[in-house]
Structure 1
Amino acid sequence: MTNPHDTNPVPHHLIRTPAYPWLLDEAGFMRAGHVLKLIDIVGSEAALRHLNQDGKKGLVVTASLDRTNFHQPILLWEMLRLESRVSQVWRSSMEAEVKVQAENIISGEKRDIATSYLVFVALNDKNRERMTFPPYQPQSAEEFQLALGADLRKKNRAAEGKTAPFIPIEDSDEPLVVSRLMTPNDANAHSNVFGGIMLSLIDEAGSQVARKQALNQPVVGVRQDRMSFIAPTFIGETVETKAILTKTWNTSMEVQVEVYAKNPNQPEPRRVASSYLVYVKLGPNGRPGEVPPWTPYTTTQTQRAELADVRREIREREELQALGFKGNSEPVGASPQSQL
C-alpha cells in the first residue's frame, strides 16, 4: 500500500463491506447512494486523522464531492473495498482521494469501480470556528501528481461555476419531492447530519426522477457530479430533496437535485446542498437502453438542457486531462469550446 522508499508515505484508510441483498436496486446492483455514503465515511477518516495528528481536537465537514464515475456495477455478495488518502491540503480545506473496488470474496479478484475526490473543511469542536489543517508535503512522484491534480480540480470547480452556472429549481418546475426527518442515527456527536446521509437521499430522489423518465424501467447511477454542501443540517430538522430532469441523451439522462433543511423554529427552509447526477437506462439484456427523449418547453428548461451539454463536455475533457495529466494548470472550464 505504500512505497518503502518514501520517507513519510501518506497513510491509507480502508473500509471493506459485503454487497448485501437489501442494498441492491431493481437491476441487482448495489445502490449508488449507499456507495456514496461509504465514500464520504472513508474520505472523512483520512481528513480527520490528518487534522488531529498533532493533538488538535477538531472535526471535519464535507464541503464538496468531485465527480464520481461508476465504471462498473457492484454485484450481490461482492466485497466492496474503499480506500482513502490525503491528496492535497490548503489552508482551511483539504482534498481526500477515495478509490472504490469490488472484490470477489472467493477468488480475491478485484475490479475498479470508481475514484472520487472529496473536499473537507476543518472546524473547532467547541466553537465550530474554521481551523487550519496541518501542512502536507507529497513525498513520491505519484503523490506530487495527485496534489497537482487536486489543485487543478479546485480551479476547475471555480471555472465551471462561471461556465455552467447553477439555475435553482422553482415550484413551477414541478419537482419530485422527498422529505425525511433527521434523527440521531443520521448525525455525529455534534448533531451534524453526515454528508453521506445527504448523498444517499440525493440519489434516492434522483433515481426516482430517472425511473419515471425511463417509463419505470431499471436505471443505474453512473455519475455523481460535483456535489456542493452549502450549509450544515442538524438533528430534528426535516430534509427535503427536490429533483428535476434537465437533459436526456441517447441512453443516459441528467437529473438536478437540491436539498433544503426545514427547522421547526424558523419560518423559511434553507438550501443546504445541490448536485447533478447522471443515470443510464437499462434494457432487457442489462445493457444500456434508449431513453425516451424529453423536450424542454420553457426558456429556463432550455437553458438547463444547454448547460447540461456544457457540463458533459467539461466532464469528458476533464477525464481526458486526468488520463494524460502532465501538470497542465489551465482550468478545464475556461476553454472557449465550453462557453455558451
Structure 2
Amino acid sequence: MLSLPRVASLARLSSRTVTARRSLTSSNPIRNAQVSQKEKVVTSSPSVAAPKTPAASASSKDTIESARSDLLDRLGSNSSGRVVATADSKSASLPHGKVFTVRPITSWIDKLASQHGSPTTTGGHGASSPVEHQPAKKYQKRELVLKTMQDSYTEIILPFKTDKALLEEYINVGGTLRHGKIMEDLDALAGAIAYKHADDGKPDSSPLTIVTASVDRIDLLKPLVVSDIRLSGHVTYVGYSSMEIFMKMEEISDTPGQDGNTILVARFTMVARDALTGKAAQINPMLLQNDTEKQLFQMGEDHKARKRVASDTALTRRPPTQEERFLIHDLYLKYSQYDDPQSKAKKPDDVEWMSDTKMSAIHIMQPQDRNIHDKIFGGYLMRLAYELAFCNASVFISSRPTFLALDEISFRKPVPIGTFLALDSQIVYAEGGDHHSFQVMVKADVMNVKEGTRETTNTFWFTFRDPVNGTPKIMPRTYAESMLYLEGKRRRMVGSLLAGRNRKNHGSGK
C-alpha cells in the first residue's frame, strides 16, 4: 500500500511543494490538457482515455473517493490511464495503483513514529508505545517481461508561460530558468523511467531498488529561456542490471503539430538491486522494433565501452601519456619562474593559480530532500554542486558565466539523511587567451563529525563559458594540481566532440 500525506505527491517528480497544473505524460499533451489551477496530472499511456473526474473540493470526500476508485480500476502495470491529484486532498491511499517515482511516498514524521513509537493518550501522560509488529510480507520471484523503448517513454510538461506559481520556483535573478532545478527534474525523470521499465506488473513481486549510477552527460544546446517546456525520455539500452536513459528538453511550439527546438540532451545510467538481498537484480530485456532503435541500443553499447576505456586509462590508475608529460613539464617551467622569489618574472594578470580558485560550502542533509530509499536525492546533490560551481565560475571571470555541460559523474556512495555534506569547488582547466570555456570541479564529501572523517561520495565536472571575454589561464603549482589540470583537459576535449555531435543530431547547428 502506498500511503501519502497528499495525493499531489504522486504527480510531483522534483518539487517539495504542491504546484498547480504540472503534468507528466506519454502523449503530446499541453495543447489538449486543460487542467484546473488546483490540479496536476500524471499520464503514462496515450492509448487510454482519461477518466472522467468529478470536481473535487475539501468538503466532498465521497466524490473524491469515488473518483479515486474509478482511477485505480484503470491503472495497470504500465500506469495506463491518468491519476489526478488535487491540492485539497490531505491524505490518500492507493492500494494497488502503479505510480513510478523516486520521491518519498510517506511523510518523515510518520517514519519517525514507526521507528520510535507515537504519542498515546493511555494513562494521560503522553507516553510512547512501540509500533505493533507486523509479519514480513511474502514476495514472489520477479518475472522478466520483454519491453520496448516506447513502454518506458515518459514526459514532464512544464507550462511556464501560463503557470506563474510554477515559474516562480524555477526563475532566477536574471529572468531565465535555473539549471539546477532542471537537473533535479532530469534525475527524478530518469528514476521514474527506470522503475517503469523494470516493472513486471505484479504487486507481490520482489521489490527493486533503482539508483542513479552515473550521469554520463548533460549538454545544453540552447539557452534556457522562459517558455513551455517538455522533458521526455525512455530507456535506450539495458544490460543485466543496468539501464541507459536518454532524455531531452524541448520548447513546446505555439504552432500545433510543429516540434519545438531541442534545448538539452542527457544520458543517465541507472542500476537495479534486489531490495531484500542487496544483490544486483536482472531487469527486463528489451525488444528492438526497428533500425532506429537498434542504432540507439548500439550507442548504449558504445557508451558503455567508452566508459570502460576511460576508467582503465584514468590518471588514478595509469601515468600521463608522453604528450601529457611534456605538457606538465612546460607548465612547470612557466609556473616555477613565477613562484621563484629570486626570479624577476612576475605572474601576468591573466594567469591564475589553481590553488587560488577554491570555493567551499557545507550543507546539512535534511529529510525533505530524500528519495524513496531514505537517502538524499541525487538530483538535489547535482543542484547543490551546480550552484557552487556557478558561484566559483562567476568569481573566476568576474561576470555571469554560461553553462555548457555536466560531464560524467559517478555516484559512489549514498548520502545519508542528517549528515553534513562538504562541497569543495576549484577551477581546474582554462586555456586562457581567446578561449572562452573552462572546467570547474566540485568534490562532495560526507562528513562524520563523531569520527572526524570525510568520505567522497561524488565528483562533479562542469563546463562553463565566458560569453564575452576570454578567460584567464589556470596554472597548477604541484603535481596533484597538474593531474587535475590534465583531467580537466581530457574531459574538455572529449566533451567538445560529444557536444558537437549532439548539436548536429538535434539540429542546433555548430
- Pick from 228, 245, 261 the counterpart of residue 96 of structure 1: 245
- Alignment-derived partner of residue 402 in structure 2: 220
Letter in 1 for 2:150: V
Which whole-Å CA distance do the structure 1 matches of 2:184 and 2:250 have between them? 15
1:23 touches 1:30 (CA, 8 Å); kept in 2? yes
Secondary structure in structure 1 of the residue aligned to 2:461: strand
Per the TM alignment, residue 69 of structure 1 is displaced from its structure 2 partner at its CA by: 0.8
2:214 touches 2:409 (CA, 8 Å); kept in 1? yes
Per the TM alignment, residue 199 of structure 1 is displaced from its structure 2 partner at its CA by: 0.9
- Pick from 362, 378, 381 the counterpart of residue 198 of structure 1: 381
Residue deviations 1:289-315 (CA, integer Å, cap 9, x gap) = 322333333333233223322222223
- Alignment-derived partner of residue 299 in structure 1: 479
Greater CA drift, 147-156 or 177-186: 177-186
Say what the alpha-carbon RMSD is for the aligned residues.
2.9
Q: Identity over aligned residues, as a percent?
A: 20
Which whole-Å CA distance do the structure 2 matches of 1:126 and 1:51 have between them? 16
Shift of the 245–166 alpha-carbon distance from structure 1 to 2, 3 Å rule, reads farther
Secondary structure in structure 2 of the residue aligned to 1:236: coil
Which whole-Å CA distance do the structure 1 matches of 2:290 and 2:452 have between them? 53
Greater CA drift, 108-117 or 94-103: 108-117
Which whole-Å CA distance do the structure 2 matches of 1:220 and 1:261 have between them? 29
2:436 touches 2:465 (CA, 8 Å); kept in 1? yes
- Pick from 149, 157, 167 the counterpart of residue 16 of structure 1: 157
Per the TM alignment, residue 218 of structure 1 is displaced from its structure 2 partner at its CA by: 0.7
Which structure 2 residues correspond to residues 1-340 of structure 1 after superposition, within 5 A? Answer: 8=148, 10-11=150-151, 12-19=153-160, 20-55=167-202, 56=205, 57-76=207-226, 78-103=227-252, 110-165=260-315, 175-215=358-398, 217-249=399-431, 250-283=435-468, 289-318=469-498
Letter in 1 for 2:387: E
Letter in 2 for 1:10: Q
1:83 touches 1:99 (CA, 8 Å); kept in 2? yes
Letter in 2 for 1:259: A
Q: Relative contact order: is structure 1 or structure 2 higher (C-alpha 8 Å, sep ≥ 6)?
A: 1
2:410 touches 2:458 (CA, 8 Å); kept in 1? yes
Unaligned 5+ runs, structure 2: 1-25, 28-146, 161-166, 318-354, 506-510
Kindly name which structure, 1 or 2, has the bigger radius of gyration based on alpha carbons: 2
Which whole-Å CA distance do the structure 2 matches of 1:142 and 1:266 have between them? 53
Which whole-Å CA distance do the structure 1 matches of 2:230 and 2:316 have between them? 34
Shift of the 265–52 alpha-carbon distance from structure 1 to 2, 3 Å rule, reads farther
Letter in 2 for 1:180: H
Which whole-Å CA distance do the structure 1 matches of 2:358 and 2:500 have between them? 34
Which whole-Å CA distance do the structure 2 matches of 1:156 and 1:69 have between them? 18
Which whole-Å CA distance do the structure 2 matches of 1:165 and 1:194 have between them? 29
Secondary structure in structure 2 of the residue aligned to 1:110: coil
1:164 touches 1:310 (CA, 8 Å); kept in 2? no
1:65 touches 1:227 (CA, 8 Å); kept in 2? yes
Which whole-Å CA distance do the structure 2 matches of 1:182 and 1:204 have between them? 16
Which whole-Å CA distance do the structure 2 matches of 1:93 and 1:291 have between them? 39
Shift of the 322–144 alpha-carbon distance from structure 1 to 2, 3 Å rule, reads farther
1:254 touches 1:278 (CA, 8 Å); kept in 2? yes
Residue deviations 1:145-193 (CA, integer Å, cap 9, x gap) = 11110111111112222444359xxxx7773211111122111232111
Per the TM alignment, residue 195 of structure 1 is displaced from its structure 2 partner at its CA by: 1.1
TM-score norm. by structure 2 comes to 0.56
